[in-house]
Structure 1
Amino acid sequence: MSTTGSATAPLPAQKRRILRLFRPYRRSLLFVASLVVGSSLVSLVNPFLIREIMDVALPQGRTGLLSVLALGMIVVSIATSTFNVWQTHVSAKIGQLVMHDLRTAVYEHLQRMSLAFFTRTRTGEVQSRIAHDIGGMQVTVTTTATALVSDVTIVVATTTAMALLDWRLTIASLVILPAFVWVSRHVGDERRVITRDRQRQFADLSSIVQESLSVSGIMLGHTMGRARSLTDNFALQSRKLTEIEVRASTAGLWYQSTIWVVMASMPAVIYWVAGLTGSGGHMAISIGALVAFTTLQQALFRPAQRLLTIGIDLQSSLELFGRIFEYLDLPVDVAEPEHPVEPKELRGEVRMRGIGFSYASAERPTLDGVDVTVPAGRSLAIVGETGSGKTTLSYLIPRLYDPTSGTVTIDGVDVRDLSFATLAATVGVVSQETYLFHATVADNLRFAKPEATDEELVAAARIAQIHDYLMSLPDGYDTVVGERGYRFSGGEKQRLAIARAILRDPPILVLDEATSALDTQTEQAVQGAIDAASAGRTTITVAHRLSTIRDADEIIVLDRGRVAERGTHDELLSLGGHYATLVNRDTEMAVALR
């Protein structure tokens, strides 16, 4: 994928940015920290109780003391479990809220991106960032903060308790910690590289699934006889992901295995050291204290090992955070104004002055010096050869793109000074590619106007010449249209899109070849309905079939991004130029199809 994002931030800055994600929940984090510290400190009581049992209560036969100490161990277990339940519940809630904030922030930011971003980015890539990247951070975000505080507290407290029991054995126990740290850093660096490769492969696999298993993808694969090759390609990419997952699971396994062996051997080392430091057949430490020390030692190594694992997980997660931050840092090239202008009255006059526009990859400008004025309530038709800039020009009015040069104004206000809400309420668009959600007809129509009544839906559908057909369906307006509307024909989808635009009742209507998918008879019926709906409304039509724009108040002909001709239908025909050539060709094609 090619995206124009910021370079990966330095690690310290990235870590600070991650910490800022938890700032709204700092009070809850303090509560969790207090629970963790309390749990960690309470759990340290048991070894000292064990020492008293073995050195005092049992040898001296003090059953009363033994009962009290045993009861104390039970109370410690209950208290520790209670602390753990509460800290797990609160920390999980905090983690999920942080995940929610991240998902919402990414989705909101992507909603602000211009059409240009989505034309150069695979949908599967976007889905992978939101699903796999953020999902991959879930364990780290939900448990790391708690585990970090808990394990640090245990390590510090346990080390202190061990030193109080015997400082020499404590030093012997801590000798191997530097090796633990080195292994953690080495394995963490390796895991971070693997994580980057894994998420990229996830994105590739998601894109394949999204493209090849959509309705359009299945149709194309079947009709082209490519189902087998598509399956082979998926299997190849899946195999690559499998190999990466195996690498992720086994990275640093031998290093960590060595550490586990060392940890398991440490009690034997402590017993040996304790025996060597004694004199005259007596150890320098009592049996009870020695058992308490080895118990503390095991309690030390477990959180120490977890801290190293957390370090490895954090380094892996940094790559995931980096990919999410890359999306959040994408510049918004069509930004909403900080102080939008709210027009007092919307009449619908559209002016385009000195319009120039260039796509990033284009060798020449798509539009160059276009000047057009459409008075309020009048109609403009835009015609021209494929690639002449018709659709691009129409997309500048609702600000799907911003012009490279020049201005587009509505009632004298630059569209860049209007809020997106005002602009959306002012300009209705019906594009040549109709998109319908996998929902009911009524839900798809109400996407334009959520508060619309059933009567308003019917009125809009009647204008678009689709009401009678909908009523012939068993479920009527409650019919589910299917993914991307594939339960409906192209003409039916187009009429639903027209009804959806009409429902909003905008003063300006942009039709980008809105009747291109209709047969001649249906086109004439819908065109008549559109003409009726356009009364008193500024209408800008990008025309493919020139028969639909004969009555337009003005027609402009684009040629290589410039206005080559302008006038009414009759005026342009009399010129015998570009428009006349297009009309003659259109007529010949219509005759040939009869």
Structure 2
Amino acid sequence: MHSTAWLTAGHTRKAASVVLLSCLVSGLSLVQPLVVHRVMAQTSDLDSLPLPAVWALAVVLLGLVTAIAVKAVVQASLAEDIALEHRRGIVEDVARADADSMERSRGSDHLTCVTSDVEAVKNTVSAGALDIPAQLLLSGVALAAMVVFDPLGFLMALGAVAVLGTIAMASGHRVNRLTRDRQEAISNATADVDALIREHRALTHRNLQGERALAALGHFVDAGRHGRGIGRVRGLMAPLNELAVSIALLLLLGVGGLRVAAGVLPLENLVTFVLYFGLLAGPAATVSNGVLAWQEGRAAAGRIAERRHALRVDRRLPPLSSDRWHHIDAVPLRGQLSLDRVSVPGRDPRTPRLDHVSADFPSGGFTAVVGRSGAGKTTLLELLTRRITPSEGRVLLDGQPVEDIDLMDYRARLGIVEQEQTLLLGAGPESIAAVPGLASLVEDIRRGEGDSSSPRHSGGERQRLAIMSALTRGADLLLMDEPTSQLDGVAERNVVDLVRQRPTGTTAVVIAHRLTTVRDADQILVMDRGRIADRGTHEELWTRCTAYRALWEEPVPQAASLTSV
């Protein structure tokens, strides 16, 4: 993070223009005292004003005002461009992240990066960090000019510069550390608030919402404490800078006035020297603020880089700027889908999530996958959606690796229904009616289970709408992850009926915790510890598979009881 790439973020030319405009402002500021010196040196009374020098002073002032205005506009535009570039990169990485790296990260970290961290980087530009080179140049030239006009005063001013530089360095280091601590606390608080919202029902059922809320508030308290620390550093730095400048200016004016009275120093030299000292004091404060802003921005950019580096981009997906997202050629998935000795590693190398699994999913068939929690059911489904890639083995469609099919085209023909189904349809009747084939279903739901135009759909409504949406948009492969585990008996039967009535040729793969859902499946895969322990129809497995019979005897998290075998 020692380079300026985090700050310019692909806008080097515009950043360079800000630096050049800042240098122009500094140059015009340096010329101004020289013109004033010339006017005073050539003027003995009001009648002897050198008009060319006066006009030159007016042109310098006009140019200075114009350059400052243009720089402010370009600098504000650059700040917004840099913020947008960082946000574009973060959003693209999240959108294209592979499954493993995304699941290892916290959503709150990415939210903090795209909001407060990016704002800190943006404020680095707005606060004048890019002005530092020009301000240092201005300071150097001003010091050289001060040597010419008053060497003794220069030595006095040099002490003030040393004090200001020491304050800026010490303050910058402190602000950098406090900024990182504040952003980390905000990220932790955001994670707690996000969990409080998403898991509100489960937390309230167990009286744990207060614990989660207090944890969030504790992190916000920490963030406030670090923020106040930054404020204290800034608040202490400002008066110290002012004190150092004021003391130096009083000494310079006092000693300089005595020397002018004694005839040792011309009055125009003292005035010019004081003007240059004013130019020196201004850059000192600007550099101090710029250093603090630089440290805050660098700390925030470091967090952004760390979070983005932790995400691995799925190179099978095109950049968001590609037209490919708007032109998807869905590939029919009508052939037999197969797993050929696939393995997926777990966090512990000794316990893989899938261990050399082979299975066939016949085209148009209904395959159920059952097993205890952790048996590998959801991982198997993730393979079929191609969200994860096996470390060994292959996923095949009619004998051809699915990698030969463009990922977006492949997924365009998938219909996926999860346990906690989020409706991609709008809540209003217009949005539902826009999906072909859902009108009659909506009417049934309104008559039987409540008004589906309500923003809050019941579990059965969500599942049925999700299945119908998948089927009516032409999904060839319907993948369902425990779709009825939280439904009552009536809602379960409605969902099962939809699966049975799917169009000819549509392959259904259902992960089932509630075994009544899948007893009439064409084949049932019984999974245990990442392997397929047995396969067959319900009657075949009930006769020979002890593990399958044991699953029927286990209680399931639902209100309705299982039907007896």
Matching residue of 1:381: 368
Pair 1:178–1:127, CA change in 2 (3 A): same
Q: Please say if residues 83 and 122 of structure 2, whose CA atoms lie closer than 8 Å, have aligned partners that are also in contact.
A: yes
Judged with a 3 Å threshold, the aligned counterparts in structure 2 of structure 1 residues 576 and 324 are, in CA distance, closer, same or farther, namely closer
SS of aligned partner of 1:459: coil
- After TM superposition, the structure 1 = structure 2 runs for residues 330-349 of structure 1, keeping only pairs within 5 Å, are 330-332=310-312, 335-336=315-316, 346-349=333-336
- How far, CA to CA, are the matches of 1:473 and 1:43 in structure 2? 76
Indicate if the aligned counterparts of 1:47 and 1:296 stay in contact, CA closer than 8 A.
Answer: yes
Say which is worse superposed, 538-547 or 575-584, in terms of deviation.
Answer: 575-584
Give yes or no for the alignment of 1:425 onto 2:406: no
Q: Which amino acid aligns with 1:317?
A: G
Q: How far did 1:105 drift?
A: 0.5
User: Which range moved further: 43-52 or 293-302?
Assistant: 43-52
Report the counterpart of residue 556 of structure 1 in structure 2: 525
Instruction: Tell me by how many angstroms 1:97 deviates.
Output: 1.0
Equivalent pair of 1:376/1:537 in contact (CA under 8 Å): yes
1:459 to 433, 437, 440: 437
The answer to whether residue 300 in structure 2 is matched with residue 320 in structure 1 is yes
Name 2:9's counterpart in structure 1.
21
In structure 2, the CA distance between the partners of 1:363 and 1:492, relative to structure 1 (3 Å rule), is farther
Question: Shift of residue 127 of structure 1?
Answer: 1.3
CA distance in 1, matches of 2:192, 2:555: 39
Residue 23 of structure 2 is aligned to residue 42 of structure 1: no
Answer yes or no: is the 8 Å Cα contact 2:127–2:293 preserved in 1: no
CA distance in 2: counterparts of 1:444 and 1:123, whole angstroms: 29
Identity of aligned residues (%): 24
Are 1:42 and 1:79, in contact at CA under 8 Å, matched by a contact in 2? yes
Matches within 5 A, 1:147-186: 147-186=131-170
Deviation at 1:236, TM superposition (A): 3.1
1:89 and 2:89 are equivalent in the alignment = no
Out of 252, 258, 262, the position equivalent to 2:244 is 262
Q: Which amino acid aligns with 2:33?
A: P
| Contact kept in structure 1, 2:534 and 2:545, CA below 8 Å | no
Is the CA contact (8 Å cut-off) linking 1:95 and 1:138 kept in structure 2? yes
What is residue 8 of structure 1 aligned with on the other side?
none
Which is further off, 417-426 or 318-327?
417-426
- In the alignment, is residue 241 of structure 1 matched against residue 223 of structure 2? yes
Cα shift at 1:200: 0.9
* Counterpart contact for 1:334–1:401, Cα < 8 Å: no
Q: Name the CA distance, whole Å, in 1 between partners of 2:390 and 2:371.
A: 19
Identify the range of structure 1 (536-545 vs 567-576) with the bigger mean alpha-carbon deviation: 567-576
Could you tell me whether the CA contact under 8 Å between 1:396 and 1:403 is conserved in 2? yes
Q: Distance in 2 between matches of 1:239 and 1:155?
A: 41
How far has the Cα of 1:256 moved from its partner?
A: 5.8
| One-letter amino acid matched to 2:462 | K
Letter in 1 for 2:371: G
Structure 2 equivalent of residue 567 of structure 1 = 536
| Cα 1:518–1:255 shift into 2, 3 Å | closer
Is 1:590 aligned to 2:559, yes or no?
no
TM (norm. structure 1) is 0.82
Task: Judge which range, 178-187 or 126-135, deviates more.
Answer: 178-187
TM-score (norm 2): 0.86
Among residues 270, 288, 300, which one is paired with 2:280 in the alignment?
300
Judge conservation of contact 1:427–1:509 (CA < 8 Å) in 2.
yes
Taking structure 1 as reference, are residues 562 and 475 closer, same or farther at Cα in structure 2, changes over 3 Å only?
closer
Residues 488-536 of structure 1: per-residue CA shift (max 9 Å, x gap): 1111122232233224422212111223333323332332222222421
> Contact conserved, 1:87 with 1:146, CA < 8 A, in 2?
no
Question: Where does residue 470 of structure 2 map in the other structure?
Answer: 501
Residue of 90, 96, 115 corresponding to 1:106: 90
Query: Which structure 2 residues correspond to residues 115-514 of structure 1 after superposition, within 5 A?
Result: 115-144=99-128, 146-212=130-196, 214=197, 216-217=199-200, 219-226=201-208, 229-251=211-233, 254=236, 257-274=239-256, 281-284=262-265, 286-332=266-312, 335-336=315-316, 346-360=333-347, 364-436=351-423, 440=427, 457-460=435-438, 462=440, 465-469=441-445, 479=453, 481=455, 487-514=456-483
- In structure 1, distance between residues paired with 2:449 and 2:84: 40
The change in CA–CA distance for 1:231 and 1:418 in structure 2 (over 3 A counts) is same
User: What SS does structure 2 have at the residue aligned with 1:242?
Assistant: helix
Check conservation: 2:75, 2:126, Cα contact below 8 A. yes
Give the aligned residue type for 1:196: R
Contact 2:436 2:472 in 1 (8 A): no
SS at match of 1:191: helix
Aligned residues of 1:334 and 1:402 also touching (Cα < 8 A): no
Q: CA deviation at 1:373?
A: 1.2
> Matches of 1:276 and 1:141 in 2, distance apart?
44
Determine helix, strand or coil for the equivalent of 2:334. Answer: coil
Distance in 2 separating the partners of 1:538 and 1:591: 26
Quote how far apart the aligned CAs of 1:128 are: 1.5
Cα offsets for 1:356-378 (capped at 9, x unmatched) = 23331586233222110123222
Structure 2 portions without partners, runs of 5+: 319-323
Cα distance in 2 for partners of 1:384, 1:475 equals 36
**Contact 2:337/2:362 (8 A) holds in 1:** yes
1:526 maps onto 2:495 in alignment: yes
State the alpha-carbon separation in 2 of the partners of residues 288 and 170 from structure 1. 16
- Give aligned pairs, total: 552
Say which is worse superposed, 364-373 or 155-164, in terms of deviation. Answer: 155-164
Instruction: Say what the alpha-carbon RMSD is for the aligned residues.
Output: 3.6
Any idea what SS the aligned residue of 2:540 has? helix
Structure 1 counterpart of 2:445, which letter?
A: Y
> For residue 321 of structure 2, what is the aligned residue in structure 1?
none
Q: Does the C-alpha gap of structure 1 residues 488 and 139 become closer, same or farther in structure 2, counting only changes over 3 Å?
A: same
Structure 1 residue 276 displacement after superposition:
7.2
Q: Residue by residue, what CA displacement relative to the aligned partner does 1:313-366 show, whole Å, maximum 9, x if unpaired?
A: 21232221111011221252754289x9x9986433211111223331586233
The answer for unaligned runs of 5 or more in structure 1 is 1-10, 446-453, 482-486
